[in-house]
Every structure is written in C-alpha cells, then in structure tokens.
Amino acid sequence: MIKNFIKKICFILLGNLTLLILDFLLKKNSVYVVNYHATYPKNKLNFFKQIEFYKKYFEIIDENSLLNFDQLFIKNKKPKILITFDDGHISNYYNAKNLDQLGIKATFFLPISVIQRKTENNIELENQTLNNKYSILSELNEDIKNNYHRLTMTWQQVIDLSNRGHFIGSHGYNHIRLSNDLNESQLNKEVVISKKIIEEKLGKSVNSFCWIIGDSKSYSKNASKIITKVNYNLSFMTCAKPYDKDQSSLQIHRFNIEDFFSLARISFIFSGIYELMYSKKRNFVNQLTK
C-alpha cells in the first residue's frame, strides 16, 4: 500500500514536471513502442487524449514503417511511436474502430489457443478462464457492463482487423512463458506453429512476434534461436527502451501503457526514468536473447 502511494505521488509530481520538458527528454531518431491490454469503453475519452498526446510529441507509424527504419526520419525528424495490443481481448477489437477513425494502424499480438477456444457458457466462466487459465486480465464488472458474451476475439474478427489494414502478430500458442522449462517441441509450437496458423488464417505473412508475460523467467536462449530461425522480422519485449538503429529488430523493447493512464504518468514513463529502472533486467534479457 505504501509502495503504491509512493508511485502515485511520483506520477503526479514527477509526471507533471516531465510533461513540461518532455520535448527535451525524448530520444530523437528513435521509435517508442507502447503496448496496451484490455481497452474498455469507460476509458474511451482518456484513450483519445492519449492519442492526441502521441500526435503532439511523435509521429505515429505502423509496423511496415518500422521495417523500413532507415527511411523513418528522412522527412519528419520527430520521434516515432508504434501502438500495439497484447492478448486479443474483445475490447481491443471494438477499440480498433476508434483507431480507424483517426487513420491509425496498430499491431495486435494474439495467442492462438485463446482465439480458437470455445466460448464459455456465461460471462463469469469466461472471465475466470481468461484470468486463471490463460493469465489474461479481464475486469468482470466491465465485462458484464458492456454485455460481452465472449472476452477474446474470434478468427472472423481477427481477419476483419487485418482486412482493415491493422497488423497481426504472434503472441505464442498457449500464452505461456518461453522459459527453459519448455522443450524444443513445446517452443516450436509456441513460436513456429503459432505463426503458421495466423498466416493460414489471414493469407499473408506474419512479420512480428511478442514474448509472453514479460518477467525475467519469460525468456530463454532456446526460444530466441527459434524466433531467429523461423524468420520473424520483428520481435518485441517489454523492458522500456526506445528502439534505434543500433539495436536488433529482434530485441525491440516496449513501454507498457494502459488506457486509463494519465498524460503525466505517460510522460514520466517516457522521460528516461523507466529506461533506467529497467536497465538491469533489460541487459539480462538482451544477453540471454542475443
């Protein structure tokens, strides 16, 4: 409780301070990648404020632009930002309509078994399944309030997102850590088979992979070798660092943002403080997946 109180004070005081000087704190010639989880309608107005914030300080790009990094800063020198969503929550599908209105194309990382599972008989069971079986957070009160029948996308909805110009990436098969506890067959299913299934469903190539959970136990050298071997062009992690030309495209670190975060909090996250906070973990992960 005390820790949360201190964090809240930091977000308010330091966040508002960094908001005043954010232009000077952002790294030029770099791409900031953010990842969201569930995006409920109750936070729609705040999400729009976040998008306006991004437009003020960054140029919003898509996955294809990131693949052509050398061309990114020729015409526009502003830092870039790429928006991604993890886990395939149904609220992301509906929120994508807001992105469409703004001409923004995001990347959605999907765990295969979660997408192709059978829908539970009621919303309470749906919520329990996501939270307990798949480690995907969903708020029961909001699920009920929004009359959700199913809490993750269907393949039909995934195909619709792709047809509308959004990008689909793999988030593994079973949404589990790619740790040393998994054997080669299990890792192959998480990394290789997941990619093949999405490509078959969409009829197009999948360029990106996103590591699952994100703590230190989520990474392994064996998984990294398979990701490289299967020819993913982009691989995303979550250790808070802007991506630049000196980094591997298979070690792109993201900043976790949720749709209810204040602009001051986001400014604090982008200020460079988070980059310092995550430096030890990031160095460990980079060496492990080198």
pLDDT digits (tens, 9 = 90+) for 224-241: 999 999 989 999 999 999
Q: State mean pLDDT over 190-215.
A: 97
Helix (H, G, I), strand (E, B) or coil at 40: coil
In whole angstroms, what is the distance from residue 192 CA to residue 188 CA? Answer: 5
Domain boundaries, the chain: 2-117+152-288
In whole angstroms, what is the distance from residue 182 CA to residue 180 CA? Answer: 5
The pTM of this model reads: 0.95
- 55-64, 67-76, 219-228, 280-289: which has the minimum mean pLDDT? 67-76
Percent share of the chain, pLDDT over 90? 90
Cα atoms in the 13 Å half-sphere on the side-chain side of 94: 16
Helix (H, G, I), strand (E, B) or coil at 277: helix
| Residue 11 · residue 265 · CB < 8 Å | yes
How far, CA to CA in Å, does 154 sit from each of 92, 125, 150, 165, 237? 12, 17, 9, 17, 25
Q: What share of the chain is helix, strand, coil (3-state, %, to 5)?
A: 50, 15, 35
Out of 3.40.50.300, 3.40.50.150, 3.40.640.10, 3.20.20.370, which CATH number does the structure's domain 2-117+152-288 have?
3.20.20.370
